[in-house]
Copies of this chain bind each other. A is one copy, B any other.
Amino acid sequence: MSHIVELLAVGTELLLGNTVNSDAQMLSRELSALGLNVYYHSVVGDNPERLHRSVELARSRADVLITTGGLGPTCDDLTKKVVAQAYGLELEYHPECAAAIRDFFARSGRAMTENNLQQAWLPQGCTILENRWGTAPGCAFQSGAHYVVMLPGPPRECIPMFREEAAPWLARLREGVICSRTLRVFGRGESQVESLLRGRMNALTNPTLAPYAKEGEMELRVTAKADSQAAAQALIAPVEQEVRALLGELIYGTGEDTLERVVLEGMKARGLTLGTAESCTGGLIAKRLTDLPGASAVFRGGVVSYTNQVKAQVLGVPRQLLEEQGAVCADVARAMAQGARRVLGCDAAVSATGVAGPDSDERGNPVGLVYVALAAPEGCWVRKLSLAGASDRRDRVRIMAANHALDMVRRWLAGLEIEKI
């Protein structure tokens, strides 16, 4: 029988929106990797009755309950009291925990208030989960066919405690592993890709194939459950091949790849340098490239030419061209990329000029009209984009323009055809 996990977070601050439940995300990832199925996340405030009902509910629909929060000295150990009571257990005092708490304060050179010792009371017969990252110990116990783990709320305590203390205890529940493979797709809308794959997505059960829309791109995840990593990979491989056959060059990477990373790694592998000339993206392309450690091996620099004067003076875009055609046209995009390549002394340069919005420009060019260009040793490519989308969202237009500019470099490096206008 396969286990069903419920994550129950305790804390009014979550219900007020003061904090986001990142514990649930991190624990869900870790649990999937252990081959355990998380069916529910719940959040309840620091309220004994509602917490009690939530624990009873979790007990009725899951056989593994993992709580986060409510273990600290300021909340009267609400979670331990209520959970222990729900499972008919008393709390007992653990001198070794008290010693560890005193020790923690001694090491951090802070005075310990007595209420901290409440944290040394734990359900009878539980396995203590040591907290080396804070003061509140966690605990784990089995009650019949049910398994309960209690962890502190602060992510910097919760996550390492899960990995080092709770995961080994939960290993007894493992039935195989879950592996997934992520393919990153750029160049088509989610619904277009989804309609290409819908048949397979509905037909597949193990592995499963699922799309996730990201800002301006999408992610396809193949997830398999099996007894071993190797067996799971063997289930994933043919489906990945199938998807690659269908989407081909729309797949730009896997796993944690981003367009900027694929571009930087491709350029680095060839010993090439890159530069940028940005108008409507205002530095976003350079910012994304330099988000990555080691960008300096490839990225030489960029010019944010937000005015025509800067386009002309710094990048050498002909003033006459700017006066006659304005800043938003194919020739200016080309001149910006070529100018950046020359001024920055790099092998290739990308540019973006367009109307990010919210209003159309003084020449009546619509929001979302963007030209991106790539200047490379063998020539220059320019693409015309219409990125307005639903809402004339300035940030979305800028992100999409940057994605398309980076994708041009990606395609150039891969020797793929680049659509021209």
A residues lining the B interface (CB < 8 Å): 9, 12-22, 24-32, 38-45, 47, 50, 53-54, 57, 61, 72-74, 104, 107-116, 131-135, 154, 156, 160, 180, 189-192, 194-195, 198, 210-213, 215, 221, 223, 276, 278, 281-287, 289-291, 293, 295-296, 299-307, 309-310, 313-314, 343-345, 356-359, 368, 386-391, 393-396, 398
- Contact: B282 with A295, CB < 8 Å? yes
Find chain B residues with CB under 8 A from A22 CB.
Answer: 20
- Contact: B386 with A108, CB < 8 Å? yes
Residue pairs across A and B with Cβ atoms less than 8 A apart, 29 shown, are A14-B24, A16-B29, A17-B31, A39-B44, A39-B45, A40-B50, A40-B54, A72-B213, A107-B390, A113-B191, A133-B390, A133-B391, A133-B393, A134-B390, A278-B286, A281-B287, A282-B286, A283-B285, A283-B290, A290-B306, A291-B398, A293-B358, A301-B307, A301-B310, A301-B314, A302-B304, A303-B314, A310-B344, A313-B345
Interface SS of chain A: helix, strand, loop or mixed?
mixed
Identical copies of this chain, number: 2
The chain B residue sitting closest to A212, CB to CB, is B13
The CA of A370 and the CA of B42, in the complex, are separated in Å by 41
| In the complex, the 6 A-B pairs of residues with the closest C-beta atoms, listed nearest first | A282-B290, A17-B28, A283-B286, A283-B283, A17-B29, A41-B43
Find chain B residues with CB under 8 A from A343 CB.
Answer: 313-314
The CA of A44 and the CA of B38, in the complex, are separated in Å by 9
The chain B residue sitting closest to A387, CB to CB, is B108
The chain B residue sitting closest to A310, CB to CB, is B301
Find chain B residues with CB under 8 A from A39 CB.
Answer: 15, 44-45, 47, 50
The chain B residue sitting closest to A44, CB to CB, is B40
Which listed residue, B26, B113, B307, B389, touches A104 by the CB 8 Å rule?
B389
The CA of A198 and the CA of B72, in the complex, are separated in Å by 14
Which listed residue, B74, B116, B289, B301, touches A211 by the CB 8 Å rule?
B74
Q: Knowing A22-B20, A32-B17, A307-B296 touch, does A73 contact B191 (C-beta < 8 A)?
A: yes
The CA of A284 and the CA of B285, in the complex, are separated in Å by 10
Q: How far is the CB of A99 from chain B (nearest CB, A)?
A: 13
Q: How far is the CB of A7 from chain B (nearest CB, A)?
A: 8
Find chain B residues with CB under 8 A from A189 CB.
Answer: 110-111
The CA of A310 and the CA of B18, in the complex, are separated in Å by 42
- Contact: B301 with A74, CB < 8 Å? no
Among A45, A221, A287, the one with the most B-chain Cβ atoms within 10 Å of its Cβ is A287
The chain B residue sitting closest to A289, CB to CB, is B282
Q: How far is the CB of A22 from chain B (nearest CB, A)?
A: 6
Find chain B residues with CB under 8 A from A57 CB.
Answer: 57
Find chain B residues with CB under 8 A from A72 CB.
Answer: 190, 213
- Contact: A304 with B303, CB < 8 Å? yes
Apart from A278-B283, A283-B285, A313-B343, what 9 extra A-B contacts exist at CB < 8 Å? A17-B32, A72-B213, A74-B190, A74-B191, A104-B390, A107-B388, A114-B195, A156-B215, A283-B287
Which listed residue, B16, B307, B357, touches A300 by the CB 8 Å rule?
B307
The chain B residue sitting closest to A119, CB to CB, is B191
Find chain B residues with CB under 8 A from A115 CB.
Answer: 191, 194-195, 198
Find chain B residues with CB under 8 A from A43 CB.
Answer: 24, 40-42
Among A54, A57, A110, A191, the one with the most B-chain Cβ atoms within 10 Å of its Cβ is A191
Find chain B residues with CB under 8 A from A388 CB.
Answer: 107-109
Q: Knowing A43-B41, A74-B211, A390-B135 touch, does A276 contact B295 (C-beta < 8 A)?
A: no
Q: How far is the CB of A65 from chain B (nearest CB, A)?
A: 15
Q: How far is the CB of A403 from chain B (nearest CB, A)?
A: 14
Find chain B residues with CB under 8 A from A108 CB.
Answer: 368, 386-390
Find chain B residues with CB under 8 A from A281 CB.
Answer: 287, 290
